[in-house]
Each structure stands twice: as C-alpha cells, then as structure tokens.
Chains A and B, each alone.
Chain A
Amino acid sequence: MAALPSQPSLTAVGDAPGPSKPLAEGSAIDIDDSGWERRARNRSPSARWIGWRLRGLVLAALLGCLAMFVLIRALAQQPVLEQRLTVDDSGVLRLAGPAPQPALAFLVDAGGRAQPIDRLLVVRSARWMVSAADRQRHLQEHDALAAALTSGQVQFIDDRGGRLSIATAPRGAVGLGWVFWLLSTLALLLYLVTMVVAMARPGKRNTLYALMALSQAGNLMFLAVLSAPAIGWGEGFMRWEHDTRTLFDLVTAGALVNVSNLHPRRLPFGTRRAALAWVLLAAVYGVAVVLREPSSWWWIQSALIAAGVAATVQLAWMQKREPHPLAVQLQRFSLLAIGGLLLLTVSVAALGPALDPRGQAPMLGSTMWVVFLTVMLLMLPFLSRTQQLMREFSLVAGVSTVATALDLLFVAVFSLGSFASLTLALFISLAVYAAARQWLLSKLISSKRISTERMFEHVYRMAREVQLQPQSTAEQLRRLMRELFDPIEARVAARRTQRSQVLSDGTHLVVPVPELRASDGGVPGAIVLGFADRGRRMFSEEDARLTDRVVDLISRAVAFDQAVEHGRIEERARIAQDLHDDIGARLLTLMYKSTTPEMEDYVRHTLKDLKTLTRGLAAPNHPLTHAVAEWKADITQRMSDAGCDLTWSFSCDHDFDLSVVQWSALTRVLRELVSNVLAHAQATLLQVEIHLDRGTLTLAVSDDGRGRQPQGWSHGLGLGGVRKRVKQLGGDVVWRENEPCGIVCRVTVPGLASAAWRPL
C-alpha cells in the first residue's frame, strides 16, 4: 500500500471552490483551517483507508485481475492459423514464409462459399479505418475467418485457383506477444489508479476522471488484444471493437469537456455546456454506429478534436478569470494531446493502401497515442507533487508526440519495418530531447526564479535588518518570499507550523516565521503564499524545502550576529571592569593622599569621570528617564553638601535608550557644568532644566552667582571638555549672562532620539 497516492490532486482540491480562490491582500483567512494541517501533514492518510475504501479497493483489484485472467484464458484458447499471413509491398495477401508464396484470393467459409479476401485481413483495427466500405469488407472477412477457424482447418483459394489448407491450433499464452503483456499491465495499472482516485474522495470530478481513465484502459485492452501476432479473434469481434472503441473515445472527449468546466475551477454555465457536449457526442455516436454513415470516421475524429479544442478554450477562459497554475498545465497538455490526435488523423487519412499496405501506421499511431493519453492520465493525480515530475512529464509528452510523428513517417514514407521504425523514431526523439531539453524547459515552465547570488544578498540583508528590529521579522520574510516566488498573495497568518508546507496541492505554501529573539512573545506566525508566479506555477515540495533552507539560513545568520555582539559586549565589560578596578583603586588612593582640598576634588572628579566611562562601556542601555533620575539624585546631593538650593525641571515627550556615547557625554557635561558652578560661581541657587521635545534635547544650567561676561572666558580643561562632548553629540553649547546675575549655559542637541525608542 505504500505506493498508493494519498491525496491525488483531483480529490484534494476539494468540493468547495472557495479555498482555492486568491484573496485580496490583507483579507481574512479563507483557507479551510480545519483540514489543511491534516491534509498537508498527512502523507499517507492511513486512517482514511481503513474501512470500506480499503475493502472496495481490494475488491476492485481482485476483480481486475480476475477479468484479466479470464481474458487471457479466452485468448489463449482461441484457435489461430498455424501459419502466419502477411501482405507484401504491393498490397497482396500471401502466406508468410520463404518467397515465392502464392497470393491468397479467397477464403472458404463455413458454408463452403468463397469469400474474397485482401490485405484487410491483416489489418487489425477497424476503428482507424477511414472509409466505411473498407470497414464493411474488413468486418466480413474477419467474420468469415473466425467462422472458418472454429472448424479446425482453414481453406484458402489462391489467385490461380489452387487450394491451400492450413491447420489451426490454440494460440496459447505464449502466442500473445510481449506487446500484449505490456499494454495489459499498463491498462491494469491505470485501472487501479482510477479506483484509488475514485475511492479516495468520491465526487463529480473524480467520476469524470474515472470515466476518462477507464475508457482509455479499455482502449488499451483492445489494443493489447489486437496486438497478438497471430490473427484470430472471435466472430463479430471487429464490429464490437470498432463500436466500443468509438464509444470509449467519445466518452473520454465528453468527460474531458465536462471536467475542464469543473477543475481546477468552476466556470459559469458549465452544466449547460457539458450537457450540450454530451448530447452532441451522443449524436455523433449514433451517426457512426447506429446509422453507419459512410464518412462516420471523419465525424468521430472531428468530434474528438472539437472536444479537445473546447476543453482547451475552457481552460484558457478559466485561467483568464482566476489564474490557477494547474489550469495552465492542463492547457498545455490538452494542446499536446490535440496536436497528437490531429497529426494521427492527418497521417492515417493521408496514408492510403498504396503507401501503407499493411496498415501498420494506424495501429502503431493509435497505440502510441493511447499510451500517451494513459501516461497523462496516470500522472494527472500527481501533477503537483514535484516540480521535477511535472517538467519531466511535459518533456516526455512533447517527445512522445515527436516520436509518434517520426514513427509514422518512417513506416509510411520510408517503408521500414514496424520494429525498426519504432526504434529509430525513439532514438531520434531521445536525441532531440537531450539536445533541446534546456530550451524546452524554459519554454514549458516559466520559472523566473531569482539567481542564487541575489537570493543570498536578500537573505543577508534581511538578517541584518531583522537583527536591528526583531519585531519586523514577519514583514521582512514576507518581502523575501515575494521576491522569490512572485505570488499573487502573501499574508502573515497566526498559525504554528514546524516546516514549510505545500497546501491545496500546490496553490498555497506556508512558511514558518522564525523566532529569532527570545523576547518576541506572542504566537510565532507563518507566511501564507498563494499562486506562485502570478498564478502560472504551482508550489512543489522543492519550493517548501527551499524556504526551509532560507529560513534556516536567516536564523543562523542572526544567531551568528548575536553571538558576535554578545562576545563584543562581554569583552567590553571585561575591559571596563579591569579599568574600573585597577585604575579606579589607584585614583582612590591618590585622592586619599591629596594634600589640598582642590587636589582632592580634582581627583574625585577624575574618578567619577572614569566611573562614567567604564559604566558606559559595560552597560549599553541607558533609558533617558533613568539617567535623568540619577543625575538629579547626584546633583541634589552635591548641592545639599554645598549648601546651595536647587531647582530641577524635566520633561520629555517620549522615553528612549541613550547610546553609550550619548549617556556618558551628557553625564560628564552636566557634572562638569555643576562642578564649574560650585567651584567658581559662589551661587545660592542652581537651576537645571532638561527638556526633550520631538527629538531635540535642551539642557540649561543657570546660577545666580558672580560669573560675568562668559564670552571672555578662557576655557580650561573642564569647559573645553564640555564643548568637545557637545560637539560629539552633534549639538551646540552657549554661555550667556543671566538676569539679574549669574550665568546660564544652554546645550541644544537636535536629533538625539535614535531609531529605537519607546513611548512614555
């Protein structure tokens, strides 16, 4: 059971047209939530197959095998001529054997009458005979032969009047020929696949598919039977063959027209058109079989081709309305099929008895065409599985058409033997395949994938951006997926998925959004892509694997960046600690040992600056509000020590993280300004104002001391440092006289707020 397909495409698209429709961007999730996970993950829905389905399948398989055995037995037991008949190049019927053989002109039938015979006795299939008169004769001759075979001996009368008696013997299983086994196995396979598809999810589409497939299986069986080397089938077999095969072909055509209304999308007025098609085809059948019109063959062929064209037109219409990659593929295949049929029809019609005395062309041509159809039908349920399969299949389809044409050409024009022509045709078509594969590929499947370099570029760029803003991961991934697949829709959905999944048989792809930072929180989401390449291509397993690798690559790149950053942070912290502990301790000792208070203050100031520096190195995050609180506490302490009053005013419209540079620069600037006031101003009141407004920071330190004419000051190390720091921040500083006395120093830093900010 492992080889059974699980969700063949005809079934899994489901009966509801809604889920496969492309939706407007940003609209609500419409995919069948309840089932997609189950369907997507369940490769072998074994639960489904327990019960009536399994039993039914086993029963069907048994029936098929039984029927096959019965058929083989019947065929084996049929009496055939011990000597083979053949037709020479001029179209005369002779016995097979070393030349010269007498030309056979008459057959003595059961009633003793002489039935005229000709090359038509060797021609197998009545279905592919153009003229109705030929068919009539063909039928008569074969009926006569069949009747004669039952009597145990067949009497022929050659053109000179001599009588030949040829014994008959049962065909035996060996006499069926290898072609029979091949074709019958193929028919059985098709039958089994049909049963699986029909039972996996019974529905209208699958019934139609089953009709098509079973008809072709029937065709195959007929061809198999007819391919037996020795001539001899039951009485009336030929008529039956013609009628039934016509029926099969017309049923296939009708089912095709019907199905192309429904799958992958429903078309309006589909039922009416389908009914019309069925009626017309039934009419043609009546004309051909019941009325026995002389030109019935043309009627049938025209009907088939017309049906194929109608189906193609419907698919094209479907594609135009709502693009669906499956529709495009089916269109291509149906075009190929029609092309083959047309070729076949034309060549059979053109090759008359003069060019093709043995009638091999129709036999071979129809065999190949039926085999081609069978292969298409077999692959149809699996179309979306892999890109590879589809490509190869398309190529095979194309190549086999070429091979058919060549074969017919060789048989008819160059009169090669059937085996030789087949071999040659295959050889040449394989050569064509190998040579033109690349060109054919690009023509058949338009995969406008971006090149590997560009993809890597995208991925690494995305990794950079995601590292800066982890919350934008989903959006970034969406953009990347867009670039890769050019889908009609790409949405962010809140659902969990372990790996990328292909849904609804190739119409949608779900890509998990990686959780790159532990602080992400919330439900890890996924990106849902629909209808690759603007609806021209289907998602396949390879696409899912590709996206998995891309997501993995991004996660790794980000993890690597994080590790590097982490390493850098640790190193900085180590440096900071060493600096702080060793140099700080020495400065402390120096401070204790200083002889004058000024020196002590100077060293203390230096020590504080060192601490600011090292703290900035070690801790990268300094929210503005926290920094302001610390400044306030510190300055309050210093003012109360100095016996000076302090007015503090602070406002900001949003809080944000000061960078290391900003924090340490501002801390030192403030400290320096306050120290300056304490050292020189002899003030009684200090006023500090800090405001953050739309990204611009203003800092104003005013005192009521004795400082005057700041423009005349010579700035020492301290104030020079203030100027340097403010310039580093990208702002400017100015000292002015305060009214009625004192100095006010105003620092303005525009654009202080960085990208990473949070609202207050």
Chain B
Amino acid sequence: MTVKVLILEDNPVARAFLCRVVRDSFSDVIAITEAGDLEGARKQIALAGGGSGMHGADPFKLILVDLELPDGNGMDLLAELVHYPATKIVTTLYSDDDHLFPALQRGADGYLLKEDRFEVLVEELQKIVRGQPPLSPAIARRLLTHFRSGNDHDASSSGYGLSSSSFAASKPVPLVEKPLDHERLTPRESEVLTYLSKGFTIKEIANLMGIKWFTVNDHIKSIYKKLNVSSRAEAAVLASKQGLV
C-alpha cells in the first residue's frame, strides 16, 4: 500500500534532501508529491481529495510543511489542515519556540530542524511518526505556561518580538470559561514538562521519576494531543468569532 507524502519546500536542494530523508525513513512504498509554494500545495491537496470534510479516497498520510515560504506562511496551511488525517510535520530553520510553538498549536505533530544531519533527521522523522515527538526545553517551557494559564499566550516574554506581530491569529480572545478537564495537564505530565524545560533527556527523566522510558513518551504524546485539542477548540472559537465558520 503506497504511502502518499506531500513535501512543501521552496528550496529545491532542500526539497530533494527531504525526499531522501523520507525515503530512507520508511520501509513502505512512498509516493512523494512535491510542492514549491502554498498554492501548489493547496492544489495538490485538493486533487487528493480536499482539505477538510470529505477527504476523498486517497489522502496524504504525511505532510512536511516548510514554515519559510515565498508566498505566505506554512502556518496558514496548517490551520487549514487542522482536521486532515495526516501526520503533519513542520520543517524550519528556526529552532526557537516563538516560531515552533504556534505551529504546534495549529496541529503540527512535530518539527524537524533543517540544519540537522541526515541521520538525525531520519531518526527524528521516524520518532514523530511513531508518536515520540521531540520537545526542546524552550518549547517545554511554553507548553507549561500555556497549560498553566489555560489561554493562548503567543506573545511570550522571550523570543522574537516580530513573530507575534506576523501571525495574525496569534492573540485570539481568551476563553471566558476555564479549559475543560481533559485539556489540563496531569501532575505527572507537568512534572515531565518541567524536567524537559530544564534540559533533561527522556532517559534521565525516566530515571528521575522512576518510570519507564515508554511512559515518558506516552506522557509527551498526550501533552501534544491536549495541545492539539485545546488549540482546535480555540481555533474554533476564533473562527466562529471571525465569522469564518
């Protein structure tokens, strides 16, 4: 069964590189569709069955979205593909949380840093597909603040000052009611996040907390899911407020 992959990347050299990475990561038969800009990507998605609602018979299983695109921002595409049943991975040169966190909030399942070596990229890609996404200390910190306040706080105290102005949807109206219970972190999850924010590896965290390595990963996975859910809820609220829905 062929796995359909969409790679959205404007730099052709980087695109070729990512193709190699994808092919090397999976033993399945891969059919890679390449797109150089947002328009092209949208067209490809439409061809494959549409962005939301009816996905058609043969949707993409994996989408790699470059954040730095010439005709817009990859985030917009991510926002459109919120309900798309593929694994969405963001590729970017930026490694700071101000750029990555909003992507994660819009439903990205993980991120790849373009500067990493080939082997590293392969490994990371496999981990994300397996459900073990990476979490840098900065992102862990952002997640902690995010879940603590229960609201969307994109304008952070650290990081690029410009990014908060470039993302129009970055400051939606805060939710009036408290977040639902399943969007709150459990104490264990909070603990994992706190350790991550201090720079500990998963193995070290497992040792410190006295749990298995897999458990830590499960916690991270559930954190991501909660982030997705709360982000989707907020996106829905925002969309309805903006009259898009």
Instruction: Tell whether, in the assembled complex, residue A626 and residue B158 are in contact, meaning their CB atoms are under 8 Å apart.
Output: yes
Name the one of A588, A593, A615, A648 contacting B96, with C-beta atoms under 8 angstroms. Answer: A615
In angstroms, Cα B138 to Cα A744, docked, is 29
Given contacts A569-B161, A619-B159, contact A585 B93 (CB under 8 A): yes
- Hey, which chain B residues are within 8 Å of A619, CB to CB? 96, 158-161
Q: How far is A517 from B5 in the complex, measured between Cα atoms in Å?
A: 50
Question: How far apart sit A622 and B117, CA to CA, in the bound complex (Å)?
Answer: 27
Tell me if A611 counts as interface (CB < 8 A to partner B): yes
Contacts of B93 in A (CB 8 A): 580-581, 584-585, 588, 611
The docked-state distance in angstroms from the alpha carbon of A636 to that of B195 is 14
Nearest residue (CB) in A for B12 is A589
Question: Does B157 count as interface, using CB distance less than 8 angstroms?
Answer: yes
B62 CB to closest chain A CB (Å) equals 21
Interface residue ranges of B1-41 to A (CB < 8 Å): 11, 13-14, 16-17
Q: Is B120 an interface residue (CB 8 A)?
A: yes
Q: Does B119 contact A (CB under 8 A)?
A: yes
Binds B, one of A477-485, A570-578, A748-756: A570-578
For residue A562, CB closer than 8 A to chain B, the reply is no
Residue-by-residue, is A415-430 near B (CB-CB < 8 Å gives 1, otherwise 0)? 0000000000000000
| Complex Cα gap A632–B200 (Å) | 7
Question: Quick check: is A1 within 8 A (CB to CB) of the other chain?
Answer: no
Q: Mark B101-138, 1 if CB is under 8 A from A, else 0.
A: 00000000000001101011000000000000000111
The A interface is mostly helix, strand or loop, or mixed, namely helix
Shortest beta-carbon distance from A376 to chain B in Å:
64
A631 within 8 A of B: yes
Counted as pairs of residues, one from A and one from B, with CB atoms less than 8 Å apart, the total is 87
B176 located at the interface, meaning its Cβ lies under 8 Å from any Cβ of chain A in the complex: no
Are the C-beta atoms of B136 and A633 separated by less than 8 Å?
Answer: yes
When the two chains form the complex, which single residue of A621, A629, A631 contacts B197, counting CB atoms closer than 8 Å? Answer: A629
- B199 A632 Cβ-Cβ under 8 A: yes
How far is the CB of B242 from the nearest CB of chain A, in Å? Answer: 27
| B137 CB contact (under 8 Å) in A576, A589, A626, A648 | A626
Size category, B interface: 20 to 34
A300 to chain B minimum Cβ distance, whole angstroms, is: 82
Give chain A residues whose Cβ lies under 8 Å from the Cβ of B54.
none
CB distance from B212 to the nearest CB of A (A): 19
Q: Which residues of A contact B94 (CB under 8 A)?
A: 580, 611
The answer to whether B162 touches A573 (Cβ under 8 A) is: yes
CB distance A577 to B162 under 8 Å?
yes
Interface assignment of A607: CB less than 8 Å from any CB of chain B: yes
Residue A250 at the B interface, CB < 8 A? Answer: no
Shortest Cβ gap from B95 to chain A (Å): 7
Residues of A within 8 A of B141 (CB): 626
Q: Does A641 contact B (CB under 8 A)?
A: yes
Residue from the list B119, B159, B162 in contact with A641, Cβ < 8 A: B119
Residues on B facing A (Cβ under 8 Å): 11, 13-14, 16-17, 68, 93-96, 114-115, 117, 119-120, 136-138, 141, 157-162, 197-201
27 sample A-B contacts, Cβ–Cβ < 8 Å, listed by A number:
A573-B162, A585-B11, A588-B14, A588-B114, A589-B11, A592-B13, A604-B115, A604-B117, A608-B115, A611-B93, A618-B159, A618-B161, A619-B96, A619-B160, A621-B158, A622-B158, A626-B141, A629-B137, A629-B197, A630-B136, A630-B138, A631-B199, A633-B136, A633-B137, A633-B199, A637-B120, A641-B120
